[in-house]
Structure formats: structure tokens, C-alpha cells
């Protein structure tokens, strides 16, 4: 039986086989626009499930103190190769749920379909862990995939489901469809860029 997608071997098999339809080949345009208009210099940014790591270099170039996490050894190796020696130490092998990360230690958590890649039963844990890692007033921003859940991954979100998951702890500040032509075929027409802010305690 194949391991579930919250186990490293699920992803190790795909990286080793070169079956990576989520590989964007670079920084998504919606993130590039966000970085262009959002001051991040000196802020702490976490990239969970960083995959190939393209976004890590982009956040670093924007002046952010970025840390990226992935529990797949082949993913970590590829991400380090992507960012090069100067940023390789920003790519940390570890599990988002259990790795020792500072509570309220980040200003921004970047979501690149990390949520939809995990079993649906773990989604509330993602939201709770994200809230615990953000300082009050910090944000979670990125891409969300809306589609029937099916077997996945990716497991699609239902309309309004991110609001239910993140609940009253977060305020939705921005929500827009990803423009045609910017999504990978896997996500085309079904992605939205959303930004939420953790309410002050």
C-alpha cells in the first residue's frame, strides 16, 4: 500500500521518479506581485513544504529572513541546489507539525498548496500550527486550490472552507482568482491567492 501524503516516502517516491507536476519552474507571478508591493525587509518568513525552493530565493531577495522546511530528503536536496550555497542553510529538513520552530516566531507563513497536499483530516492541524507560529498581526498568504476533494493529493477545498479552517483567529484581507495562464495545468482555473492576518490577542 502506498504511504499517505503526510509521510515522507509518498513524496520521496515522486521526486525520485521525476513525477512532480507541481513544479512551477520558478516563482509564481502572483507571489512576485505580492513581493513587489509588500515590505518584508527584516521580517521572518516560513515556507512549509518548500519543494523545489524557488520562492526561498525570492523572499531572501526581498530582504526577508526566510526559513524553508520539507520532510522529503530529495526535496531538500533539490531545493538546496536551486537556491545555491548562499541560501542552502535556509532549507531545513523537518516535519511542519513536529519540527522545533519558535512559537509566535514568524511574521509570514507562505502557502503554496501545502494544505491541499496533505490528508484532509490534518487540515485543522495545519491551521492551528500556522496560528501558533505567527506573531499577533502576522499573516498567512499564498495559493489555495478549490476543487472536489476526490482522492488527491491535491485535495480540493470547498468554497469558504479556508475561512472555516482558519476560523475567527484570522481575518481575510485579500482574495482573488489566479489569472488565466498563470497556474500550472494541475491547478488551472481553480486557484486563488488569499491573504489572512492573525488577529491580535
**Into how many domains does the chain fold?**
1
Determine the pLDDT at residue 135: 97
Residue 89 included in any domain: yes
Determine the pLDDT at residue 180: 87
Residue 35 included in any domain: yes
Residue 1 included in any domain: no
Angle at 108 between CA 104 and CA 114, to 5 degrees: 105
User: pLDDT tens digits, the chain, 201 residues: what are they?
Assistant: 789 999 999 999 999 999 999 999 999 999 999 999 999 999 999 999 999 999 999 999 999 999 999 999 999 999 999 999 999 999 999 999 999 999 999 999 999 989 999 999 999 999 999 999 999 999 999 999 999 998 789 999 999 999 999 998 999 999 999 998 999 998 999 999 999 999 987
Angle at 118 between CA 188 and CA 55, to 5 degrees: 60
Determine the pLDDT at residue 75: 97
Omega before residue 188 within 30° of 0, cis = no
The residue segments making up the domain with residue 76 are 8-18+27-198
Residue 51 included in any domain: yes
Is 32:58 a contact under the CB 8 Å cutoff?
yes
Residue 3 included in any domain: no
Residue 159 included in any domain: yes
How does 100-135 read in b/e, with b if 16+ C-beta sit within 10 Å?
A: ebeeeebbbbbbbbbbbbbeeebbeebbebbbebbb
Residue 187 included in any domain: yes
CATH of the domain at 149: 3.40.50.150
Closest CA to 132 of 29, 22, 33, 48: 48
Residue 2 included in any domain: no
Determine the pLDDT at residue 151: 79
Amino acid at each position: 500500500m502506498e504511504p499517505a501524503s503526510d509521510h515522507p516516502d509518498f513524496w520521496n517516491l515522486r521526486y525520485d521518479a521525476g513525477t512532480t507536476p507541481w513544479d512551477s519552474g520558478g516563482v509564481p507571478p502572483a507571489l512576485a506581485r505580492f513581493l513587489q508591493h509588500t515590505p518584508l525587509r527584516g521580517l521572518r518568513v516560513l515556507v512549509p513544504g518548500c519543494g523545489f525552493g524557488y520562492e526561498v530565493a525570492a523572499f531572501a531577495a526581498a530582504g526577508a529572513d526566510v526559513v524553508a522546511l520539507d520532510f522529503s530528503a530529495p526535496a531538500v536536496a533539490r531545493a538546496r541546489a536551486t537556491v545555491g550555497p548562499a541560501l542552502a542553510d535556509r532549507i531545513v529538513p523537518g516535519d511542519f507539525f513536529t519540527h522545533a520552530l519558535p512559537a509566535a516566531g514568524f511574521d509570514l507563513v507562505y502557502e503554496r498548496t501545502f494544505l491541499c497536499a496533505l490528508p484532509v483530516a490534518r487540515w485543522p492541524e495545519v491551521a492551528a500550527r500556522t496560528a501558533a507560529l505567527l506573531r499577533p498581526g502576522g499573516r498567512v498568504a499564498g495559493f489555495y486550490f478549490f476543487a472536489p476533494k476526490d482522492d488527491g493529493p491535491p485535495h480540493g477545498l470547498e468554497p469558504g472552507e479556508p475561512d472555516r479552517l482558519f476560523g475567527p483567529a484570522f481575518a481575510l484581507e485579500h482574495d482573488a482568482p489566479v489569472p488565466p495562464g498563470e497556474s500550472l495545468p494541475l491547478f488551472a482555473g481553480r486557484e486563488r491567492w488569499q491573504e489572512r492576518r492573525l488577529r491580535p490577542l
